[in-house]
Amino acid sequence: MMRQYELVDRVRKYNPNADEDLLNRAYVYAMKAHGAQLRASGDPYFTHPLEVAAILTELHLDDATIVAAVLHDTIEDTDSTREDIDRLFGKEIGALVDGLTKLKKLDLVSKKAEQAENFRKLLLAIADDVRVLLVKLADRLHNMRTLNFVPVAKRERIAQETLDIYAPLAGRMGMQHMRDELENLSFRTLMPEPHAMIEARLGDLRSRNVKLIATIEQELVEALSKRGIDATVKGREKAPYSIFRKIEHKSIAVEQLSDIYGFRVIVDTVEDCYRSIGVIHTKWQTVPGRFKDYISTPKQNDYRSIHTTVVGPGRQRVELQIRTREMHEIAEYGIAAHSLYKDGFGAGSGAAMGESRSYDWLRRTVELLAEGDSPEEFLEHTKLELFHDQVFCFTPKGRLIALPRGATPIDFAYAIHTGLGNGAVGCKINGRIAPLLSELQNGDEVEVVSARGQSPPAAWESLVVTGKARAAIRRATREAVRMQYAGLGRQIIARAFEKVGKTFSEDMLKGALPRLARQSVDDVLAAVGRGEMFSGDVVRAVHPEIKVDRKPASPGAAGKAEGGWFGIKRAASLVFKVPGADEAGDSNAIPIRGFGGDLPVRFAPDGGAVPGDRIVGILTPGEGITIYPIQSPALTAFEDQTERWLDVRWDIDEENRDFFPARVVVGCLNEPGALGTIATVIGDLGANIEHVEFSTHSPDLRDIKIDLRVHDLAHLTGIISQLKSKSVVSRVERVYV
């Protein structure tokens, strides 16, 4: 275990002005707080926060971050409180420790929801102060280094979480060195056999290529020195997990990879970077398509280098990364490198934030928190953002937009503005009209065409790749559905008020919101439209003196059936009785036009309904209105739920006639050509066949159940009449289910 003076010495090596008293007090406090607690390895628990602090001293971080690392588990795992830490070490350190503390007593059903909610809290804390992230990553790194002491089931869950979230998060923050170690530790735990195989192959290649690596390093240094460029060249071996991903992606063998060994050429200035490229490309043949300039166009995590691949000594492909010393620090340590050029972070993240492009992504991710998505959706969106490489595209005015690889113009539109994405109807890529679902490539210029009043199709959600686009499409879809339900609810409530002789007013409804336990009028309208609240309750909330009686009304014009299938009288309305008022009639039935309108309406399955039928609407919570013919036997299921019955009527547009569902059963001869005759009649009369099902009752006869789309009852009756006139047809019946 690291001694107290050793911790102080580590910090003072890079910061002679370190607050020795603060470090000593934190060491003693944490040691006493954790007391006799033990880790799974059997070591004193206090060794863990010390090792986390040691990892952060390697990054040369400020005193407050080191102290937060020493104290990071005190609130979560001991009797210490946030107030204790604030009082003894100051509010700055208290905020850091609190940001690293998991939420306790979460009343959540699933482990995934709990994980997501804790990750949400962590990201909010990181957005407030970047040092929270640095401590968290160091914490996870030490836990991964000691993962072999944890039970197998828990070990795999932790490794998967690290691979899914924390390693990509380290990469997004530019901390490539830490990302590589987190990935490899997770890889070894989750896939031990592939890990061992790749390690063995690397060991073999390493022993064979020792001289080649030394030769390339020497030739590079000499070639650059002759041109007056002072360069340091370092050979590096690709990490096992990175090799595994490339093998999986390209379906190739280890020996076929061209970049198992890479070389970093580190020079003094940006000018030297470009001069070095000239020297290298003059000396060795380049590999086409393998040149990338991340200096002129940095990655989103601040990474800057020039990449190229050449055919070097021994006809060996060699990958080169050329960068300045400052770029190298940022490439290895990411946001942690920014603190090397400061006296220390201020309270909060402003100092580092202004210098790091990594925070553009973090800010966008945190914006999703304010959009009301569930924790699981937020975690899903964050993973989408973490896992993708990037492409760089431009607006017509030259603005650079960084997107995940595989992004579409829809993602591009949402990256610019949510309104542009919601209204997108077309696009041009490099001046040519292209589909909105085209995959964007590096350097594409994208122009999005939008229209006011548009709403994105729900199907887009599964086709885009950015979390921001998915969240916005999901919100727009929900809002569109909500508006449909609100429109239905407004009609239901208006008719309920008319039945009791009152006029519906949204202003009057506002005063009744507390009695209905809703925040807004739209909430009430949508709740009624979804069937979660009954219109009679709204009437009673606004007019408490009115007595609401939920029972079947006398048969009305739109909803009666004398005898019918059951020998009963049925109505599709609620009765509101007002002292001294007559029963309301059925003249205010809700108009039904068909699919795709402003109301959430569907037709009963296995039969449907067509204009001309007497119909009834059944309000189903969360689904809207289902339309049944009054003869439908299925209505018996709703006999005791009269509050769900609605008066509805047909509202037909004669100029734009829709198709409606109906089902018939045709009895016919079991002989060749019978089906063709039936289909010809239906087609000639302008109807559509949706589905056909056969059943044979004897060698000579069979039944054909046909789902049709017809304009109205007259259209259907004509089809039935024509079918009956055919010699191959023995009977035709309409089916009501």
Per-residue three-class SS string for 172-207: HCCCHHHHHHHHHHHHHHHCHHHHHHHHHHHHHHHH
CB neighbour list of residue 482: distance below 8 Å, 6 or more residues apart: 522, 526
Query: Among 104-118, 240-254, 385-399, which is the least confidently predicted range?
Result: 104-118
pLDDT classification of 142: cutoffs 50, 70, 90: very high
d(CA 262, CA 278): 18
For the record, the structure tokens of 628 come out as 């049944």
pLDDT classification of 376: cutoffs 50, 70, 90: low
d(CA 611, CA 658): 10
Phi and psi of 582, rounded to 5°? -80, 160
Percent of the chain's residues with pLDDT above 70: 78
Q: What is the pLDDT of residue 379?
A: 59
Chain Cα centroid distance, residue 366: 13
Max mean pLDDT range (514-528, 566-580, 696-710): 696-710
Specify which residues 448 forms β-bridges with. 427
Is 562 found in the same domain as 674?
A: no
User: What pairing do the DSSP bridges indicate for beta strands 590-592 and 601-603?
Assistant: unpaired
Task: Please give the angle made by the CA atoms of 367, 370 and 374, to the nearest 5 degrees.
Answer: 110
**pLDDT (tens digit per residue) in 460-469:** 888 888 878 8
Is 664 found in the same domain as 645?
A: no
Residue 688 has pLDDT above 80, yes or no: yes
**pLDDT (tens digit per residue) in 47-67:** 999 999 999 998 888 899 999
pLDDT classification of 9: cutoffs 50, 70, 90: very high
**pLDDT (tens digit per residue) in 337-357:** 654 434 444 434 433 444 455
Query: Which residue, chain included where needed, has tokens 């420790």?
Result: 97
Q: Is residue 26 part of a domain?
A: yes
CATH code: domain of residue 666? 3.30.70.260
Domain count, the chain: 4
Is 496 found in the same domain as 575?
A: yes
Q: What is the pLDDT of residue 345?
A: 41
Mean pLDDT of 270-290: 91
Q: Are 325 and 264 in contact (CB under 8 A)?
A: no
pLDDT classification of 726: cutoffs 50, 70, 90: confident
Mean pLDDT of 606-623: 78
Q: What is the pLDDT of residue 390?
A: 67
Cα dist. 39→55, 143, 145, 268, 416 in Å?
A: 18, 10, 13, 46, 48
Is 587 found in the same domain as 554?
A: yes
End-to-end CA distance of the chain: 77
Of 275, 309, 333, which residue is a domain's last? 333
Residue 639 has pLDDT above 80, yes or no: no
Mean pLDDT of 490-505: 81
Alpha helices (H) along 348-456: 350-353, 358-369, 375-387, 409-416, 418-422
Q: Does residue 180 have an active-site annotation?
A: no
Is 119 found in the same domain as 235?
A: no
Instruction: Identify the CA nearest to 662 among candidates 692, 628, 707.
Output: 707
Q: Is residue 710 part of a domain?
A: yes
Query: Which segments within 400-527 are labelled E, that is strand?
Result: 400-404, 424-429, 432-434, 446-450
Q: Is residue 463 part of a domain?
A: no
Residue 589 has pLDDT above 90, yes or no: no
Phi and psi of 477, rounded to 5°? -65, -45
Q: What is the pLDDT of residue 338?
A: 59
Q: Are 285 and 270 in contact (CB under 8 A)?
A: no
Higher pLDDT, 137 or 619: 137
Q: Are 407 and 436 in contact (CB under 8 A)?
A: no
Q: Is residue 16 part of a domain?
A: yes
Is 665 found in the same domain as 592?
A: no
Mean pLDDT of 194-205: 86
Query: Which residue, chain included where needed, has tokens 């102060």?
Result: 129
Q: Is residue 140 part of a domain?
A: yes
Higher pLDDT, 523 or 326: 326
The HSE-up count of residue 417 (CA atoms within 13 Å, CB side) is 8
Task: Please give the angle made by the CA atoms of 573, 577 and 582, to the nearest 5 degrees.
Answer: 90
- Range of 55's domain? 4-175
Q: What is the pLDDT of residue 590?
A: 59
Alpha helices (H) along 239-374: 240-250, 270-283, 325-333, 335-338, 350-353, 358-369
Q: Does residue 76 have an active-site annotation?
A: yes
d(CA 338, CA 253): 39
389 three-state secondary structure: coil
Query: Among 136-150, 183-197, 464-478, 594-608, which is the least confidently predicted range?
Result: 594-608
For the record, the structure tokens of 201 come out as 């192959």
Cα dist. 365→249, 418, 598 in Å?
A: 27, 14, 34
Q: Is residue 394 part of a domain?
A: no
Residue 105 has pLDDT above 50, yes or no: no
Is 144 found in the same domain as 16?
A: yes
Residue 587 has pLDDT above 50, yes or no: no
Max mean pLDDT range (22-36, 313-327, 355-369): 22-36
Is 576 found in the same domain as 529?
A: yes
Q: Is residue 374 part of a domain?
A: no
Is 664 found in the same domain as 551?
A: no
Percent of the chain's residues with pLDDT above 90: 26
Residue 601 has pLDDT above 90, yes or no: no
Instruction: Identify the CA nearest to 473 among candidates 423, 509, 531.
Output: 423
Higher pLDDT, 601 or 154: 154
Instruction: Identify the CA nearest to 668 among candidates 698, 690, 691, 707.
Output: 698
Q: What is the pLDDT of residue 358?
A: 57
Cα dist. 32→28, 77, 732 in Å?
A: 6, 12, 88
Is 268 found in the same domain as 244?
A: yes
Q: Is residue 267 part of a domain?
A: yes
Query: Which segments within 604-700 are labelled E, that is strand?
Result: 615-620, 624-629, 645-646, 648-650, 660-669, 688-696
Is 43 found in the same domain as 168?
A: yes
What does the radius of gyration of the chain's CA atoms come to, in whole angstroms?
35
**pLDDT (tens digit per residue) in 418-459:** 889 999 999 999 889 999 989 998 778 999 999 887 888 878
Cα dist. 479→365, 399, 699 in Å?
A: 22, 31, 56
Max mean pLDDT range (176-190, 243-257, 443-457): 176-190
Of 311, 333, 355, which residue is a domain's last? 333
Of 144, 175, 206, which residue is a domain's last? 175
Instruction: Identify the CA nearest to 226 among candidates 308, 282, 305, 306.
Output: 282
pLDDT classification of 81: cutoffs 50, 70, 90: very high
Candidate list 77, 367, 643, 690, residue with the active-site label: 77
Residue 566 has pLDDT above 50, yes or no: no
Candidate list 20, 76, 114, 380, residue with the active-site label: 76
d(CA 67, CA 69): 5
Query: Among 218-222, 507-511, 531-535, which is the least confidently predicted range?
Result: 531-535
603 three-state secondary structure: strand
Residue 621 has pLDDT above 90, yes or no: no
Is 509 found in the same domain as 626?
A: yes
Q: What is the pLDDT of residue 552?
A: 41
User: What pairing do the DSSP bridges indicate for beta strands 306-311 and 232-237?
Assistant: unpaired
CATH code: domain of residue 223? 3.30.460.10
Instruction: Identify the CA nearest to 704 among candidates 614, 565, 681, 611.
Output: 681
